[in-house]
Amino acid sequence: MDIPLLSLMIFTPLAGMVFLMFLKQEQVKIIRYSSAAFSFIPLVLSFLMLGEYDWTTSQLQFVEKAIWIPSLSVNYSLGADGLSVPMLFLTALLSFISIVASFGISHRVKEYFAFFLLLEVGMMGVFAALDFFLFYVFWEVMLVPMYFLIGIWGGPRKIYAAIKFFLYTLFGSIFMLVGILLLYFNTEPHTLDIMELIKMGPAFGKDLQIMVWAFFFIAFAIKVPVFPFHTWLPDAHVEAPTAVSVILAGVLLKMGTYGILRISFPMLPFGTNYFSLLLAVLGVIGIIYGALVSMAQKDLKKLVAYSSVSHMGYCLLGMSVFFVGADGKAFITGLSGCVFQMFSHGLITGALFLLVGVLYDRAHTREIEAFGGLWTKIPVYGSLMTFFAMASLGLPGLSGFISEFLVFVGGFARYPVLTGIAVIGVVLTAGYMLRMVQKMFLGQFNVRWEGLTEINAREIFTIAPLAILTLAVGIYPKPLANLMAATLENIVTLVNR
Amino acid sequence: MEFPQIDYVAILPEIIICGLALLIMLFAAFLPRDRRWITGHIAWFGIIVASFAVWMNWGTDTRTFAGMYSIDLFSSVLKLIFLLGSLLVVFMSENYIRLHKLEAGEYYALIIFSLFGMMMMASAADLVVFFVGLEIMSVALYVLAGFRRSDPKSNESSLKYFLLGAFATGFIVLGIAFVFGAVGTTSIAQMFDPQQYTLANSFFYLMVGGGLLLIGLAFKLASFPFHMWVPDVYEGAPTAVTAFMSSGPKAAAIAVLARVFVVAFGQHITQLSPMFWSLSVLTMFTGNLIAISQTNIKRMLAYSSIAHAGYMLIAFATGTAEAVNSVVFYLLTYTVMNLGAFMVLLVVEGKEDGDNEITSFTGLGRRHPFLGAAMTLFLISLAGIPPTAGFAGKFFLFKAAVAKGQIPLVVIAVINSLISVYYYLRVVVVMFMIDTQTEFRPVSYPAFLYVALVVAVLGTIVLGVFPTSFFPFDIPLLASGR
Amino acid sequence: MLETYLPIFLLLCVSTAAGGGLYLLSKFLGRKTTDSQYMDTPYECGIEPVGTTKERFPIKFYLIAILFIVFDIEVVFMYPWAVVYRKLALFGFIEMLVFIGILVVGYIYILKRGALKWD
């Protein structure tokens, strides 16, 4: 392909941001529509990319390479494979949806959309970068707009949440920086090219691998977030404005697992094997802990936020199982469960946050107890909420089920006891999700909500694509599975070098 | 006897700068009061001419004045950094002088004299030349710190700076004396030649001398435990002078540290490394931890400058040519971003005297988006977040340190960067996230200040994205003669 | 090594002997007056030893003093230059002109700014 597809996807939003700067603060309509347009282009491009992608190979595609800082041998190099293509698509989709969902923002509109577009640049870049330096730059670029988005447009404790988010993530990423430098100096010739480093993977010493793996894991685990590092998540998710919560849950969390799969796994095979049990244990702790805490939540948004901790735990459990079977075939069930979960959690939780936002805009409260019997008043909203609650708890036929099923099948192959414990998580998830649906939509109608209006067309427009995809992946997961199979097999082979 | 060999072309920048300062003094004497602003224009024009002179000498590697003065790539790069810093300071002072009715002629003359001293320090290949440069730089700064004569805080600042600076100077002289006693020379290149030892225990005295020199330089660099003067002096001095003080002298001190401790004492880096290691760690922690509790933005920037001195010392704990290269690059980035932050501070400060509380920034982001965005850029750059200059600076520095196996030090430094994020972001919080009912006080838009601000913004971005395009990362240290 | 300091030591001895001797001589030879109000004061010439400490001098004294020091030091630099003047020849002459030129600029400056005006 001749057009630099990935560069276009990354930098169109940046162009949009620059464009917005030339508009006046008062031209709210133009700002909204132009930023939607600028985020729509990457979405179109990502469809193009899906069409062009050759899923039969694990080779990187759409590769772009240009010399950037020669003395460091840093290159501007981009590329996509079966792991990043779904993520890029998800990012483009959720960004567009979130921008449309933010049309209700009336406070400092121009800055809001400018930051949002900058955020999209960072996210796209992380999923496409093939150079460590570039990866790190994008990883950090994302922080600043996110910080502002939470800090300016957030809820009552926005400043606390924003700083906490920033410091936590930065804490992780500076360890990543040290890890990157360590790898850089242990290669000859020094390189920061991720693909080169992956080739050299097994040559790294064992101690080095363990140390660097741990450094990287701190960075990625904070983003995921894995159990002991998760405390920024409820604050950030709850205080952030709706659209930002969608991005946080839908895309940012995936960067952690993406990083582990893209970097730690193939680059540090010894470290990965060394820590695989830890991954599984932390995953299971996350599943159970997240679910239990969710059960105790009275605030709807907090419930969804903690459910993310639980759901990302499945990712960890799934990715902890990787081996090459006796027949020489790579066992990718667990890994594909993980990637499926990344994708479907992005859809489902994104939609749930959108729905929470829809209700909050009208009711100005998120107390689950405050509602009741809403179904009679707003049936469309109620059914959408129920649909996604079901998807979240893993109802067969919806995408959540596929991913959890794959994770459990994969998990049993190596950690039967742990997986057995993890299954309890499904029951717990069903518990809090159903309780939420029952308390809010069934039972006695609370007259206080007499004036509640039904979800409007724009909001449906934002949620519909997510619902369709959830259903589509749930019923016919094969295309997505095909998309990533070759890449995942390659990763498993690389880990077992 | 014929004329001694002096390469006048090589020292042309110094000649220009010295002549410039004298010229400004004459202008200050002869111009009527209301026309003295002309001196500012002479100053920036002269600095640009001098920069061309440095550019002309780019790549020369020569030593003149009987080997006491070294013009090489290292000194040329540093001189350009000083010239850039001074140029920005001259630009940002124009409005400040007008608002506060300061004596323009003397102000610029002193800035240029101080610049002259720094340039001498950068080129010093002999301890005596270094000392003369240091004094020229410092004396001018002592006066500048007290330039707002009617302001008691400015007086306090000047007196404190003078007393402690003179104290530090004493250490430096004593150190030079010890070195001279031990080896019979003050030439930096020959200092560590064992053949020069004149006494049985020359090595011991040499080390004592080196230690004393380090104490003196640590004062100028504002490194722990000689950092006490920094916050008071920075707070009291006129803001434009504070900006100048926080970038220039630091860079000059780094230049001398590099020449003395990496070149001259270079063979003994393994013995020296733990000392610099602990200095660096303590300086970082002191600066960053105390900065957290500051409510005055000038004091906060003062402590942040202490912290940055700590990062710079990493290079000396590492002690390789690569580390010195990256610390010089760090100086360049620090000059740009730090002066940038001070420029915004100058605009916000406006005519108000001494009101530099962080709260005075409340709502800046709303009312003046460009200023708010610029300040945010400088602050995240100071914190070291990509893709800004501050990140590139730290990256190269840490890279050099990791290459030498200084992993714990780098980990401590990154933890410190994290701490620093907290207090830098506090300013961002008040600028953008606190909604204020009161209107932000009107700010003026002086043209020169804005030119400087735009230069700083562009510099911060460009140095961050294309670091190697504008900086030679292969500067040899004192190439000729050793 | 130490013997090079012998003249200094001798000078020390001689000056101590001279000072102490003169004092002792006046003690032995001098007229002994015991009761005089002037003998008990620090300055026998009549200056009041006690006065206000807050006495203020015009700042001009300091200014003149510091300027005197500056130009005094200038002259101090001329002595070594004068000693080797023959060896330095024209170069030394020009260098000294540059040096003095810089100080002349300073002198013109203080003159124009009125630092030497008494009123």
The whole-number pLDDT of residue B479 equals 45
Structural domain includes residue C64: yes
C91, C109, C112 member nearest B3 (Cβ)? C91
Instruction: Check contact A-C (3+ Cβ pairs < 8 Å).
Output: no
- A306 touching chain B per CB within 8 A: no
How many domains does chain C fold into?
A: 1
**Alpha-carbon span B447 to B244, nearest angstrom:** 20
Chains that touch C (3 or more CB pairs under 8 A): B
A141, A143, A185 member nearest B403 (Cβ)? A185
pLDDT tens for each residue of C33-86: 666 666 667 776 667 767 777 777 777 888 888 888 888 888 888 888 888 888
Q: In B, what residues contact A, Cβ < 8 A?
A: 366, 369, 376, 380, 385-387, 391, 395, 398-399, 402-403, 407, 410-411, 414-415, 417-418, 421-422, 425, 428-429, 432-434, 466-468, 473
C90, C91, C108 member nearest B26 (Cβ)? C108
pLDDT tens for each residue of A214-260: 999 999 999 888 888 888 888 888 888 888 999 988 898 889 899 99
Structural domain includes residue C12: no
What is the chain B residue with the closest CA to C103? B22
The whole-number pLDDT of residue B437 equals 65
- Give the 3-state secondary structure of residue A371: coil
Chain B positions touching C73 (Cβ under 8 A) are none
The DSSP letter of residue A456 is -
B414, B419, B436, B475: best to mutate for the A interface, most A CBs within 10 A = B414
Would you state the structure tokens that stand for residue B168, as one six-digit string?
């530090």
pLDDT tens for each residue of A382-431: 889 999 999 988 888 888 888 888 999 888 888 888 899 988 888 999 99
CB contact under 8 A, C113 and B4: no
CB B142 within 8 A of CB B167: no
Q: What beta strand segments (E) does A249-394 contain?
A: 323-324, 330-331
Would you state the structure tokens that stand for residue A88, as one six-digit string?
């890029």
Strand partners, A90: none
Would you state the structure tokens that stand for residue A292, as one six-digit string?
């239990």
What is the chain B residue with the closest CA to A152? B433
CB contact under 8 A, A137 and B386: yes
- B418 touching chain C per CB within 8 A: no
User: Comparing C-alpha atoms, which of A142, A101, A122, A118 is closest to residue A38?
Assistant: A118
The whole-number pLDDT of residue B271 equals 78
Average confidence (pLDDT) per 10 residues, chain B, 482 residues? 69 90 89 83 91 86 81 88 92 85 87 93 89 92 89 89 91 91 82 70 83 89 86 88 89 88 76 86 91 88 91 88 88 92 85 70 80 90 88 89 85 88 87 71 76 91 84 65 38
Chain B positions touching C108 (Cβ under 8 A) are 26, 29
User: Comparing C-alpha atoms, which of A55, A129, A9, A48 is closest to residue A480?
Assistant: A55
A70, A143, A159 member nearest B468 (Cβ)? A70
* H-only helix segments in A442-477: 457-475
The whole-number pLDDT of residue B1 equals 47
The whole-number pLDDT of residue B3 equals 58
C87, C102, C105 member nearest B1 (Cβ)? C87
**Alpha-carbon span B323 to B329, nearest angstrom:** 10
Residue C101 Cα, gap to closest chain B Cα (Å): 10
**Alpha-carbon span A342 to A316, nearest angstrom:** 10
Q: B37, exposed or middle or buried, with CB in 10 Å at 0-12, 13-18, 19+?
A: middle
- B22 touching chain C per CB within 8 A: yes
The whole-number pLDDT of residue B478 equals 55
Element (H, E) at C65: helix C59-83
The whole-number pLDDT of residue A361 equals 86
User: Comparing C-alpha atoms, which of B461, B414, B142 is closest to residue B288?
Assistant: B414
Q: C84, exposed or middle or buried, with CB in 10 Å at 0-12, 13-18, 19+?
A: exposed
Chain B positions touching C112 (Cβ under 8 A) are 29-30
In this prediction, the residues of chain A whose per-residue pLDDT falls under 50 are 1
The whole-number pLDDT of residue B352 equals 64
Q: Is the pTM above the cut of 0.90?
A: no
Domain of residue C77, residue span:
58-119
- A148 touching chain B per CB within 8 A: yes
CB contact under 8 A, C106 and B25: yes
Chains that touch B (3 or more CB pairs under 8 A): A, C
CB A366 within 8 A of CB A355: no
Structural domain includes residue C2: no
Q: At what angle do helices B297-318 and B389-403 cross, to 10 degrees?
A: 30
- This complex has an ipTM of 0.81
- Give the 3-state secondary structure of residue C54: coil
User: Comparing C-alpha atoms, which of A252, A99, A249, A240 is closest to residue A160?
Assistant: A240
Q: Which of residues 157-196 of A touch B (CB under 8 A)?
A: 158-159, 162-163, 166-167, 170-171, 174-175, 177-178, 181-182, 184-185
Q: How far apart are the first and last CA of chain C?
A: 58
Q: What share of chain B is helix, strand, coil (3-state, %, to 5)?
A: 75, 0, 25
Residue C17 has pLDDT above 90, yes or no: yes
DSSP string, A196-223: HHHHHGGGS-HHHHHHHHHHHHHHHHHH
What is the chain B residue with the closest CA to A155? B433
What is the chain B residue with the closest CA to A181? B399
- B253 touching chain C per CB within 8 A: no
CB contact under 8 A, B407 and A178: yes
**Alpha-carbon span B135 to A291, nearest angstrom:** 68
Would you state the structure tokens that stand for residue B169, as one six-digit string?
């100077």
Chain A positions touching B422 (Cβ under 8 A) are 163, 167
Residue B376 Cα, gap to closest chain A Cα (Å): 10
The whole-number pLDDT of residue B95 equals 84
**Alpha-carbon span A89 to A85, nearest angstrom:** 6
B432, B461, B471: best to mutate for the A interface, most A CBs within 10 A = B432
Strand partners, B296: B357
Structural domain includes residue C77: yes
CB contact under 8 A, C105 and B4: no
CB B473 within 8 A of CB B396: yes
Strand partners, B124: B69
Instruction: Check contact B-C (3+ Cβ pairs < 8 Å).
Output: yes
